[in-house]
Amino acid sequence: MKIISKPTSAFNDQKPGTSGLRKKVKVFQQPGYLENFVQSIFDTLKVPAGATLTVGGDGRYYNRPAIQTIIQMAAANGFARVLVGQAGILSTPAASHIIRKYHTYGGMVLSASHNQGGINGDFGIKYNISNGGPAPEKITDDVFAKSKLITHYKIADLPEIDIDHIGETIFDDGKFTVKIIDAVQDYADLMQELFDFTAIKKLLASGFKVQFDAMHAVTGPYAQEIFTNRLGAPITSLMNCVPSEDFNGGHPDPNLTYAEDLVKIMYAGDRAPDFGAASDGDGDRNMILGKNFFVTPSDSLAVLAANATLVPAYATGIAGVARSMPTSGAVDRVAAKLNIPCYETPTGWKFFGNLMDAGKVTLCGEESFGTSSSHVREKDGLWAVLFWLNVLAAKADACGQAQSVEAILMAHWAEFGRNVYSRHDYETIPTDAANSVIQHIKAQFESLPGQTFGSYSVKTCDDFSYLDSIDGSISHNQGIRILFEDGSRIVFRLSGTGTEGATIRIYLEAFEPDSRKHHLDAQVALAEMIQIALLISQLKEKTGRDTPTVIT
């Protein structure tokens, strides 16, 4: 096995975001671009003898050639073995599980998550550490620093590996091995350990109808194995389950806008199924729907926390919960009643990882359609879907009649009150215009407190900072918060997951204790606050945008 040191020139735009490095495919196809970033990651690591690297992704365009390059570079940079998901497939939560189960040194996850795919779409790569979670900021900052100084990368002269068939290829008398593994089996086995598959199977056999949309993305094979093969759901309950390099031309983001086909099915009146769900490009996000009813991710986290003991894996209770700062305070109310800690962190799953490793939290979630637990160190879409089905099965009456998703939410709100919540996304805004909006809001920090806007009086405002109680690190500038006297709030953030322009996200939240108002549509209930957000930000005037791209 010959190792080659190839000269290269540094790129100045390889700073990883909250979920690794995401760029257009054509950016990654530049000579040396992928190689430089991968080498910069390897240069931050002290790879021990005999170390194994996990590699897989969401099946989007450019995954296959990228995997071949990573294998060759892993061989040149001291790894003894590489585990690759069959056909290059590993959902992000499955990759986390593989890293943890087989004690690999870390993993390369190839995904741009919910972003569009194809030759004109997006590609992404991130490094996950040995706990299965995304690399912390200390590592990603070091990777960026090295990427600006790189002059050479190392690559082994290896033939192309057949990644479509399970098996093992050995090089250099056993000094380097590539093993192609079943991409689905280990993850499906884990789900069967966590949840009561017997109860869920009984629920599905009772006439309870489900509809799952894989959005032509990575969870298709996982859904077929779990729902059809293990739970006995009819194949007609699954849709768009064949992974596609361009997600069949769609946008694999499980929300009310981009999962339009599923939404139409679930809002078909009496003909609608009882339960609907969708997952995203790499399988870490989820959307939950009932018959003609949408569950916000914030409410989903709260309901799962409140009902955790109905699930075998959490039957003895949960240690604590955590949520990202923009996520609503609904789960805080559950935590208070359960007398368990609740942590508020910046957006980004790596912040939850520290808390989980320290045994502080069991469940965690983000408003951006991500929920999970300490079974892995990533968001987990199918896990959330199965959790809901397990709760529905456990709450079924003696005759097997399940409550509706809406009934479960109404009962939850009656007990805890409703945190009315919505997020408005303004996507692909020119970066200068987006920064202008944020700076305009920050310039009002001193003058806003004490001002009254309609029914709301501003108590305080800030740019959220987080002190990690586990490692002592501090994260600044994590989102602008405008907090009102009654506990309501508006949050503004620039998203770090896009590859083109900037996305401004506006999060709106108001607590409603009156059960007589719990049926109101969130946009109606938050109408006044929406206008306040636009007034304070001057978003329309500074960007020319009249309406959000996505409302959730």
How far is it, in rounded angstroms, from Cα 286 to Cα 460? 33
Calculate the alpha carbon distances from 228 to 88, 215, 216, 279, 383 in Å: 23, 17, 17, 17, 16
Q: Encoding tokens for residue 239?
A: 């849709």
Instruction: Indicate the SS3 state at residue 107.
Output: strand
How far is it, in rounded angstroms, from Cα 115 to Cα 130? 26
Q: For residue 113, indicate whether it is catalytic.
A: yes
Counting every residue, how long is the chain?
552
Instruction: Indicate the SS3 state at residue 226.
Output: helix
Calculate the alpha carbon distances from 428 to 25, 67, 264 in Å: 17, 29, 26
Q: Are 73 and 42 in contact (CB under 8 A)?
A: yes
Q: Are 321 and 313 in contact (CB under 8 A)?
A: no
Q: Tell me the Ramachandran region of residue 232: left when phi exceeds 0, alpha when psi lies from -120 to 50, beta otherwise.
A: left
Instruction: Given the residues 40, 91, 96, 113, select the one marked as catalytic.
Output: 113
Report helix angle 297-306 to 381-394, nearest 10: 50
Q: Are 285 and 300 in contact (CB under 8 A)?
A: no
Buried b (16+ CB within 10 A) or exposed e, 199-228: bbbbbbeeebbbbbbbbbbbbbbbbbbbbb
Supply the residues annotated as catalytic. 113
